[in-house]
Amino acid sequence: MGAPPSDQSPTQRLSCPPIHDLSRLKAFQEQFEAFLGGIHVEPLNGSPLAIEGTVTRFEQVSIQIGEASPSRCTHPASMVPDDSVLLMGIYEGSGSISVRGSECRLGGGDMVFAGSHHPESVVTYIPTHLCQVTLNRSMLSSMQVDVDSAMLQPLRGHPVVSMLMRYAYMLRDHDDLTTPELRRAATVHLHDLAALAAGATGDVAHIAQGRGARAARLLAIKRDITAHFTDGALSVGAVARRHGITPRYLHMLLAQEGLSFSSLVMEQRLALVYRRLVDPRLSGCAIQTLAFDAGFGDLSYFNRNFRERYGMTPSEARAGEFL
């Protein structure tokens, strides 16, 4: 399936609360099959079926992410084109995938290459978070990945697998696919990560590390800063530890993009204060309080940087909006 029109979101969503009624189950199964190109889902062990799922499509990639109760999904033989290959992973939980009579059991953090055009089933034994990425076989082969040899060989505890799944989640959850250039870059980066997971060596591994792995780490670091910038104790060391890298390497990743840790944190803190200053609902909130809540620990430092960034004092910014 190709990329969606540029004016549409690349991500579609489907969800259902726990289903106990048989008629409701059949209706949802029909909806699920239409949403995922013929995949049939059924509950297991008498559990009510409950599913939250998304499909993100762009370029030659499809990312399917879902949370499922104990269930079995049966895939039709012609689900995706022959020139595609599936990477099936479990972010949290437990499950298995079966292809042509062979079964591979997976736990949290595991991933496996699976066939694209052969019938298969995916079973979740407990409430499970799944991540499936459809990639281009020819593109992987051009990166010296022996796709057939990699089939149903589970990748357990592989650091690149964890990075790949996190990158897939971030591509789904954020606006990083807004232009053809960004979509093409994300496609290449996912194939880079898949090649590294499959054991790429030599020049291929060197290129993939410098391109796909670096891009995934950089995006994760930016998201981390966005999630924690209001913490006044936020530091390079804390972010680096969360991503299993050194502070020096984190600085290097940002510098290659013309960025710095302090500038990223500063920009987000200042932007947050500005938004709150011009919000009439917060007109009675002291500027000092807004600054401290955004992560600033020194008011004079905040005032100086705010004026440099916006060409006015915080008081002037607030007054200007309410005149």
Q: What is the pLDDT of residue 24?
A: 92
- 16 to each of 23, 68, 152, how far by Cα in Å? 14, 10, 30
Mean pLDDT over 253-274 rounds to 94
Task: Check if the beta carbon of residue 163 is closer than 8 Å to that of residue 224.
Answer: no
Confidence of residue 40 (pLDDT cuts 50, 70, 90): very high
What SS3 state is found at 133?
strand
- Domain 11-172+179-228 sits in CATH at 2.60.120.10
Q: Is the pLDDT score of 254 beyond 70?
A: yes
What would the mean pLDDT of 12-37 be, rounded to a whole number?
A: 91
Burial class (CB in 10 A: 0-12, 13-18, 19+), 244: exposed
User: Please, which pLDDT band fits residue 151 given cuts at 50, 70 and 90?
Assistant: confident
The whole-angstrom separation of Cα 13 and Cα 143 is 32
Q: Does residue 160 sit in helix, strand or coil?
A: helix
Which two three-digit tokens encode residue 315?
């008081």
Mean local confidence (pLDDT), 78-106: 83
Q: At what angle do helices 180-197 and 159-173 cross, to 10 degrees?
A: 160
Q: pLDDT tens-digit profile of 97-123?
A: 988 788 899 999 999 998 765 658 899
pLDDT of res. 257: 86
Contacts by residues 272-277 (CB-CB < 8 Å, ≥ 24 positions apart):
272/229, 272/230, 273/302, 273/306, 273/314, 274/306, 274/310, 274/317, 277/314, 277/317, 277/318, 277/321
What global pTM score does this model have? 0.78
What is the DSSP-derived secondary structure letter of residue 155?
Answer: B
Domain ranges for the chain, please list them.
Answer: 11-172+179-228, 263-322
Q: Cα(60)–Cα(180) distance, rounded to whole angstroms?
A: 12
Sorted by sequence, the CB contacts under 8 Å of residue 272 that are 6+ apart come out as 229, 230, 294
Q: Is the pLDDT of residue 315 over 80?
A: yes
More confident site: 228 or 3: 228
pLDDT digits (tens, 9 = 90+) for 182-199: 889 999 999 999 999 988
pLDDT of residue 118: 61
Average the pLDDT over each of 32-41, 80-89, 160-169, 262-271 and give the range with the smallest value: 80-89
What is the rounded CA–CA span in Å between residue 278 and residue 270?
13
Contact 56, 21 (CB under 8 A): no
Q: Which residue has 């690349």 as its token pair?
A: 10
Position 8 scores a pLDDT of: 59
**Mean pLDDT over each residue of the chain, to the nearest integer:** 88
Nearest to 114 by CA among 304, 106, 4, 196: 106
Angle between helix 247-255 and 261-277 (nearest 10): 70
Per-residue pLDDT reduced to its tens digit, 273-300: 999 999 999 999 999 999 999 999 999 9
Question: Which comes out higher in pLDDT, residue 322 or 228?
Answer: 228
